Structure 1
Amino acid sequence: MHVQEWLETVPAVSIYALVGVVIGLESLGIPLPGEIILVSSALLASQHGDIDPVILGACATAGAIIGDSIGYAIGRKGGRPLLAWLGGKFPRHFSEGHIATAERSFEKWGVWAVFFGRFIALLRIFAGPLAGVLRMPYWKFLIANVLGGIVWAGGTTAVIYYVGVVAEAWLKRFSWVGLVLAVCVGLASMLLIKRKAKQATRTAQQPVAEPEPVPAAD
């Protein structure tokens, strides 16, 4: 079952809680599909009036900020052994290579790595714990954490919600005949482009005939 189809069976209050908890756990350092849950929930809110996008965005933002703060505290207390333990539990996400990449990002960007890390799946998981391990001053971390959480969670909710509203309104005004014609034209165009691409490939692969030698004059 698709994520959005499953969310349609869940009460609105549960969706708010689910979004906040999943994003919070992801920000804490547990690899979970927080962004997928958020996007699916925001799209669902654009189609169902019982889900308030403002409350949804607020829950997502709160989960992101609180989760990152807990991750920071755990990372500051656990230090390097924590990263080694996470590497054993989640080798796909906390491998030595991924940790080294995240550390280089922190060394290069500093506090901005926490802010922009919200928009990058790998850094979104690493940001809190790694900032604690690297002993980043908490007040700097907190500012970047709060701003990043608001922009990422709130912004994603708003953009996906309004895109969903516009798309649904457009599809309602669009006749089924027009929709079928658009699909047919799109398929025909794709097949034509593929055919031309194959012809161009075959032409390019054909050997170029060498010019015949001109007989020397007597």
Structure 2
Amino acid sequence: MDIPSFLGSIPPWLVYALVGLVVGVESIGIPLPGETILVASTLLSLHPDANINPWIIAACATTGAVIGDSIGYTVGRTYGTRLLTWLTRRFPRHISPAHIKYAEHVFDRWGTWTVFFGRFVAGLRILAGPLAGTLRIEYRRFLLANVTGGIFWAFGTVGFIVLVGDAAHHYLKEFAWVGFLAVLVLALAAGGLLHKRVKEGVARFAAEEPTEAQEPERA
């Protein structure tokens, strides 16, 4: 069963809880499809029989993002690079030493702005909290970027989908599915472009710093 079908088979309150949980666990540093479940649940909410409020979905995603990132920050600050080493061993397909070194480079260059904009990029979204804690970014600055990034990401994503869905329903009537298809195509295209840019950045940084990018430091 795929994610949309699964979400459609459970009660609305469980959809809200699942969105917050998945986004939160992803933000701690565990690779999960947080953005996918946010988009899928929002699309589901546009169905007239779903009885799901898209803005509650956005609020749950924001809450999960803020809490998850804060937990990730605390764990990273407590356990340091041992956590990052464990993540690379446990999830080698999603988090590699090169990814971590590239994220550290981005943090060095952009500071807490990395936390804000990292919310919109899958690889940085997973690493932002733990890495900010490991690098001992001041928590107040981290929290401000964390909260604002979570709000803009969750409500921006939901708002865009609702806007396109409402426009499709208004102008296309019975062909509202065209609007949903457009959202999916745009989301996939944007996600693919961001993933490609991050992948290229990781590869370029690893080539420039071959020794450092092999393995994260051990605490």
Query: Shared fold (TM-score greater than 0.5)?
Result: yes
SS for the counterpart of 1:152 is helix
Q: Which residue of 2 aligns with 1:139?
A: 140
Contact 2:39–2:158 (CA under 8 A) maintained in structure 1 = yes
Contact 1:47–1:165 (CA under 8 A) maintained in structure 2 = no
The structure whose Rg is larger is: 1
Q: Which residue of 2 aligns with 1:103?
A: 104
Q: Which residue of 2 aligns with 1:125?
A: 126
Decide which moves more: 138-147 or 161-170.
161-170
Contact 2:76–2:132 (CA under 8 A) maintained in structure 1 = yes
- 1:43 deviates by 0.9
Q: Which residue of 2 aligns with 1:26?
A: 26
- 1:173 deviates by 4.8
Counterpart-to-counterpart distance in 1, 2:81 and 2:43? 39
Aligned counterparts, 1:163-174, within 5 A: 163-173=164-174
Q: Which residue of 2 aligns with 1:191?
A: none
Matched, 1:39 2:39: yes
Counterpart-to-counterpart distance in 2, 1:112 and 1:136? 11
Contact 2:95–2:123 (CA under 8 A) maintained in structure 1 = no
Q: Which residue of 2 aligns with 1:15?
A: 15
Q: Which residue of 2 aligns with 1:68?
A: 69
Contact 2:20–2:60 (CA under 8 A) maintained in structure 1 = yes
**Match for 1:81: what amino acid?**
R
Q: Normalising by the residue count of structure 2, what TM-score does the alignment of the two structures yield?
A: 0.76
Matched residue count: 175
Q: Which residue of 1 aligns with 2:53?
A: 52
Contact 1:47–1:168 (CA under 8 A) maintained in structure 2 = no
**Match for 1:133: what amino acid?**
T
Structure 2 regions of 5+ residues with no counterpart? 179-219
- 1:47 deviates by 1.4
Decide which moves more: 40-49 or 162-171.
162-171
**Match for 2:27: what amino acid?**
S
- 1:170 deviates by 3.6
Identity between Structure 1 and Structure 2 (%): 57
- 1:94 deviates by 2.1
Matched, 1:151 2:152: yes
Aligned counterparts, 1:167-182, within 5 A: 167-173=168-174
Structure 1 regions of 5+ residues with no counterpart? 180-218
Contact 1:29–1:126 (CA under 8 A) maintained in structure 2 = yes
Q: Normalising by the residue count of structure 1, what TM-score does the alignment of the two structures yield?
A: 0.77
Distance 1:169 1:5, change over 3 A: farther
- 1:91 deviates by 1.0
SS for the counterpart of 1:93 is coil
Contact 1:46–1:162 (CA under 8 A) maintained in structure 2 = no
- Aligned alpha-carbon RMSD (Å): 1.5
- 1:98 deviates by 0.6
Distance 1:55 1:29, change over 3 A: same
Counterpart-to-counterpart distance in 2, 1:93 and 1:56? 26
- 1:137 deviates by 0.4
